[in-house]
Structure formats: structure tokens, C-alpha cells
Amino acid sequence: MRHTLSVLVENEPGVLSRVAGLFSGRGFNIESLNVAPTLEQGISLMTIVTDGEEQIIEQIIKQLRKLISVIKVVDMNEIKCVDREMVLLKVNAMEQYRAEVLRIVDIFRCKVVDVSPSELTLEATGDRGKISALIQLLHRFGIKEIARTGSVTMRRSMQVD
Amino acid sequence: MKHKGSQILLESMIKEGVDTIFGFPGGAVLDIYHQIPNYPLRHILTRHEQGAVHAADGYARATGRTGVALVTSGPGATNTVTGIATAYLDSVPLVVFTGQVPTKLIGNDAFQEVDIVGITRPCTKHNYLVKDVRDLAKTIKEAFYVARSGRPGPVLVDLPKDVMADACQFSYPERIAMRSYNPHYEPNLKQVRKASSLLKKAKRPVIFAGGGVIASNAHEELTWMARTLQIPVTTSMMGLGGFPGNDPLWLGMLGMHGTYVANMGINNCDLLISVGVRFDDRVTGKLESFAPEAKLVHIDIDPTSIRKNVSVDVPIVADCRLALQSLRTEVEKLLESEDLSTRYAPWREKLMAWNQAQPLCCPEGGDRIKPQAVVQKLYEITQGEAIVTTEVGQNQMWATQFYRFHQPRTWISSGGLGTMGYGFPAAIGAQIAFPDKLVLDIAGDGSIQMNSQELATAVSYGLPVKIIILNNGYLGMVRQWQELFYDRNYCSTCMHHNPDFVRLAQAYGAEGYRVERMEDLDQVLRQALESKQTTIVDVVVEQEENVYPMVPAGAGLSEMLLV
Ligand SMILES: Cc1ncc(C[n+]2csc(CCOP(=O)(O)OP(=O)(O)O)c2C)c(N)n1
């Protein structure tokens, strides 16, 4: 099963390779990984999406906790959270398709961030499902380039069902 | 007053209680070597950096203290990797200092530059590159703390040359504050109670002890538990010495070359109390058939060890010693209502019957000396009073089978990595720590050649280490596998052109003996063991002797080859 792990780490050289090395060295898979500084000086947040059986995920979490540079690991699957990723898409948008592409942009509340006579570059954010749906819909026009961030996640303030 | 980085380094080591370092100099660490004579530190010069790290490791295993090695950058640093990985897999507390090129050259492919922090990331518990002399003292404090706390392990500190030459105010931090590292020692009482309630229900319990028992000094607690409840004990290879090898409850070692009775015990027990073990594949055999009828209690300080390979009914993440102490309190309560040792009596009898049916015994016949007989003789002469290190291969397995370890830290061998060439430098480290004890390296003719240059080290420090070579003219253990599983195709396992080990010893100024006949064995071994010098005894043994019993790789523990 897919799991999203939120990992607080010391912001020091080599920390990314410690974390990534833990995955590669043990044959665990990383689906996406995001790192950026937090509000707190010297601490970064990594959001790691990985996939595996429960026993593997348990090992991954324990192994992450064991790294000296890791401060905290939360399995976001166990709590309610907001999950977003961002994507930039360069889509074929010749005259005859343009209106339809723009309608999809509207429906998905994307932004057009760059235009040329034949292409549109779109920016979209949303959860994984929305991004996948968008990509699927745009496929038939011809997607020329894509850049996705992978997930970033945050705990919801109210943990209600 | 300002101190130079090199002074801060040595000063900090003194504060950490270090009195011995093992090392090998080079350009990048000259500032440090320049200062060493000014400090109450003994520097042991080995002949190879791998030797230095193994020696520091042997010193650490024999004493329970943290071993320290110091080497130069580049090739000096890369030569430590095998030693570091060896210590990592066996959870040995070690701090390795490597020289590094000056900070402004790092990343420029400078002369003797290597990214040793990158190289050793997967085989150290943690590692550091010190970029500013003002971080040095704190880093060293952390390095020692990380190495010896929690599940111990090797820590590497990379020291650029300019940082060693720079100066700043020196103050050694009193305390450590690491927000990301807080090892957990105390057991969860609820889990401990669950474990004791399993003991109350069990009819066929076995205790399985590993290196964690020795690392946490839990052997007394373990022995109390076993003897009070009369529960039979087996250990992993790393656990040898954690329970007296001459106790009637001792089943022998478990696993691939473990005893029949230990493996049958695991196969038939209904409760397995595992303490400080990590269920290595050499121990479990085929996982699906490991301890099929047992409830499993697993005590370990490292949460990643728990449920990594086998599923566990009662996990206890804690220091083994504290966990056993806490379990003792519960057990004492149990004993008020029932004498459990009587309940377990039929089980002990069953085990005894298995042991009688298939005991470990030294084979007879043939013209040449049996290697097993050599180990047996060593035990007979020393009565288990020596520190025994080994190389890797058949020699190591025969040592586990035919020598009996009564005390923790008297058995020193590369378990997790199985490093040939480990035993002799480790013996040097142990002998440095205990100059008056008898230290034996039980060796193979292949392995000893991996670090035999350390004869110079042993001789130059006057260390009476004894190397007993079980010389079968083969890389015996590999040849055994070729014999059993590869149609006797002995490709590249015959050691043609072994040196004359007696003359090799003499060339270094050590003593050398050769034994070829069984009737000479006793006398030569006694003579060698009494010598005050570094000594090699080259025992010419049966060439194609095999280690039995054996569980073929991937088979279940009950599927043993017995002869
Ligand atoms: C550094 C290293 N290289 C290779 C091996 C693989 N290996 C395991 S046992 C063994 C044979 C050891 O031969 P020897 O030292 O003569 O001991 P014996 O088995 O004959 O007692 C080898 C090559 C190893 N464990 N370590």
C-alpha cells in the first residue's frame, strides 16, 4: 500500500543522501520525495511517498527513526491530512484544441503560466487523484513535457471523521 | 588561550577516557601526530589501516570500552572500510578519525582526497565532516556518545587538515543535547508482564541469547533467569560467552553449524525468549519453518531488529539488562505460586536425549590431525581461561563448537560480516587491553594471510598473541561448499604456495612451531601457550575435513546434515 511519510530532519549536508541511501540500500522504493526548510531554524521537512507491504513500511519507519539526523517520522496514512502536489504541463494547444484545453483549465482551476501559438503551459495543484485526472484528460491533445513535485502533506487541524 | 584543532582533538579524547589509539599516519594527519607525544595517549602503529580498525574493534570487544582508530585521508581512509563495516554489523562501539584534505580543496579531486563520509554512510552508525574548528569539540563529544549509547556502532569523524591547524578557544561540552537521538533503555512494563505470563503457560521454553546480552552486560541476569527457572539456553555466534558454556543448561550454538540439540530445541519449543539477537539468516535457516510452534518474546534495544525477519508475539524494545531485571521481578512473583522448573523438567529430559543421540564430537581416524581435536586441546589446556579470536571459515566454526566460553568478552569473532583477516589484529587489540591474559587467534591458512603483516605490530609491542593455524591447505569453508553443493569442483580454493608459516614468524622476530602428528600436539601447544612471545603454531590438519552438523543455506533447522 502507498504510504506518505512526513519526516523532520536536521538541515545539514548529506541528510538527503542518508535518507535516500537508506531506501536504496535496503531495496525500498521511493515514489516521490520533497524537501524544504521549515519555520524552525535548522530543520527541514521531507515528504516521502513510498509503497510496500505493511511489514516493509514498518521497517522503513523504524529505520528512518534510527537515523541520527532524523528528528521525527509521522505516517500520514494514520491521520487525516491535506495532501497536495503541483504539476507544470506543456500541452499541445493548436488553434482547433485551444478552447477545449482552456475549458479544462477552467474546470480544474489551473493557471496558464506560459503561452505560444502552439503550446500552453499550465500550472495545477491538487491531490494526486486530481492531478492524475487532469493528466489523463490532457493526454489526447498531446502533453509535451511534464514536471511534478510529488506530494506535500500536512495534518488537518481537526481530526474528525 | 587558543588551542589548535589537533590539540582539541587529543584533549577531547582524554576527556572521553581514551588511553589507546590504533593508527597509521599520513600527510593529512601530521598535525595530529605532531601533538600525540604531548598527551598521555598510547598510539599503536599497525602495518595496515584495516589492522588498526580491527585492533581497535578487538580492544572494544574485549573491554567493553570504545575503540579508537586514527588514519590519514584517501587510501588510509578507504582501507578502514572493511574494519568499519565489520564493527557495524556486530554493533561494536568505535570512533574512527580520518584525515581529510583542506576544506578549500574538498570536492576538487585533490591529492589523496576521497569522500569517506559518503563511502561510509551505509556502514557507520553516524558520521561527520568537521568543517570548522569551533565545531570540533562538540562533534567529538557527540561521536563518542553516539558510538557507545543505544545499540553501539562505529562512528567516523573526518578531519580536514586546515581544521586541525586552525585554532580556537577550547571548552569541552559537559552535556549532550541531540534533539534527534534519544536511545530508549527502559522496558515497557506491560510487555514484560506479557512475557512472564507466557512463561507461566509454557511447557517447552528455550532462551536464545545474542550479542546484545554481551553488549549490555546482561549475562548475570540471563544466567540467573535460566538457572532459576531451569530453562535451556542456546546462543547465536555473537552470544557465545553470554551464558557459561559448561552449564548443564547450555545447548550449544544455534544455526547453520549449531548443535543438533539447539536446533531441535528451537524446532520444538513452545516459547522462545530471544534476547539481543537479530535473527540472521545463518541462525534461522528457512524462515517459514523457524520455531514453528513457539510464541516469541523478543528483547532488543534496536526497534528495527524487531519483526525484521520473524514475527514476534511480545516485542520489548529496551536495554537487554534492564529488560531482564524487570522480567526477574515478574518471575519472582510467578515463583511464589509455582515452581516452574519442575514443569519444564520433561522438556529438559527430552533435550538431553536429543543431545545424547547426536552430540558434537571430534571425528577419529585418518593419518592427519583433526582440526576439531586442536580446538578441543586448546580448551583442555586453557580451561576456557583465554580470550579467543578467530578468523573466518571452518576454523571459526570449529572454535564455536569445540571451545567453551564461560565469560562474556572472551569470544571475539567477526559474526555479521564474516571478515577474513579480522582475528589476528583483533587479538592484538585484546592483548593490548589485557597484557597478562592469554590471547589466541584460531586461524585458517587462508585468512591469516589477509593481515599477517600485523606480525610486525605484535612483535614490536611485545605482544604474546598466539596464532594457531588450522592448516588444511584450502580455503576450507568454501571448499566444503564446493564439495557438498558444486560437484567437488575445487576451483580456486586450494592454497598452493602457502608460505612456510614457521619461517614467516621467524622473519618477523616471532616464534614459530609446526605440528604434523597428533602425538606432538599437546606438548607443542603447551610450549607455545607458555611462551612470552608472539607465536605461530602451524598445525597441519586433515585437508578435507568438514564442519558438521550443517543446515544447508535456505533449509529449515530440522533439515541438518549430521556427518
Ligand atoms: C575478506 C573475505 N573474503 C572472502 C570470504 C569468503 N570466505 C569465507 S570462508 C573462506 C575460507 C577461509 O579459508 P581459511 O582461512 O583457510 O579457513 P578454513 O575455512 O580453511 O578454516 C572464504 C574465502 C570472506 N569471508 N572474507
**Helix B49-63 vs helix B81-89: angle between axes, to the nearest 10 degrees?**
20
Q: Do A14 and B307 touch (CB under 8 A)?
A: no
CA torsion B227→B233→B239→B244, rounded to 10°?
50
Closest CA to B234 of B193, B275, B178: B275
Grid cell of B557 as nine digits: 533447522
Residue of B nearest to A24 (CA): B122
Q: Looking at ligand 1, which atom is closest to the CA of residue B445?
A: 16
**Of the residues B2, B104, B111, B308, which is catalytic?**
B111
Tell whether B178 lies on the interface with A, counting CB pairs under 8 A: yes
Contacts of B272 (CB under 8 A, 6+ apart): B205, B206, B208, B266, B291, B294, B295, B296, B297
Distance B527 CA to ligand 1 centre (A): 28
What is the average per-residue pLDDT within B287-298? 95
Q: Tell me what the pLDDT averaged over chain B comes to.
A: 96
Q: Looking at ligand 1, which atom is closest to the CA of residue B477?
A: 19
Closest CA to B420 of B441, B394, B388, B393: B393
What residues in B contact A70, CB-CB < 8 Å? 180
Give the bridge partners for B300, in sequence order.
B317
Q: Quote the CA–CA distance of B413 and B217 in Å, as a whole number.
A: 18
pLDDT at B72: 98
| Model pLDDT for residues B202-258, shown as the tens digit of each residue | 999 999 999 999 999 999 999 999 999 999 999 999 999 999 999 999 999 999 999
Q: Quote the CA–CA distance of B239 and B253 in Å, as a whole number.
A: 9
A27 or B456, higher pLDDT: B456
Is residue B317 within 8 Å of B176, Cβ to Cβ? Answer: no
What residues in A contact B122, CB-CB < 8 Å? 21, 25
Is residue B118 within 8 Å of B176, Cβ to Cβ? Answer: no
Cα–Cα distances in angstroms (integers) from residue B167 to residues B4, B39, B102, B105, B191, in the given order:
4, 18, 14, 19, 52
Q: Catalytic: B477?
A: yes
Cα–Cα distances in angstroms (integers) from residue B423 to residues B10, B170, B415, in the given order:
28, 39, 11
Grid cell of B330 as nine digits: 515478574
pLDDT at B365: 85
pLDDT at B222: 98
Which of B118, B126, B304 is nearest residue A59 as measured by Cβ atoms? B304
Is residue B188 within 8 Å of B301, Cβ to Cβ? Answer: no
Nearest CA to CA, how far is B181 from chain A (Å)? 6
Q: In what order do the strands lie in the sheet with A70-75?
A: A30-37, A43-51, A2-10, A70-75
Grid cell of B452 as nine digits: 599477517
Q: Quote the CA–CA distance of B534 and A47 in Å, as a whole number.
A: 57
pLDDT at A160: 84
Residue with CA at minimum distance from ligand 1 atom 4:
B420
Grid cell of B406 as nine digits: 564461560
- The percent of residues above 90 in pLDDT, for chain A, comes to 93
Q: Which residues of A touch B (CB under 8 A)?
A: 9-10, 13-14, 17-18, 21, 25, 55, 58-59, 62-63, 65-71
Q: Catalytic: B161?
A: yes
| Other Cβ atoms closer than 10 A to A121 | 18
B563 or A152, higher pLDDT: A152
What is the average per-residue pLDDT within B254-267? 96
CA angle A63, A69, A70 (to 5 degrees): 55
Is residue B66 within 8 Å of B147, Cβ to Cβ? Answer: yes
- Above 80 in pLDDT, residue B174? yes
With H, G, I as helix, E, B as strand and everything else as coil, classify residue B170.
Answer: coil
Give me the interface pTM, i.e. the ipTM: 0.89
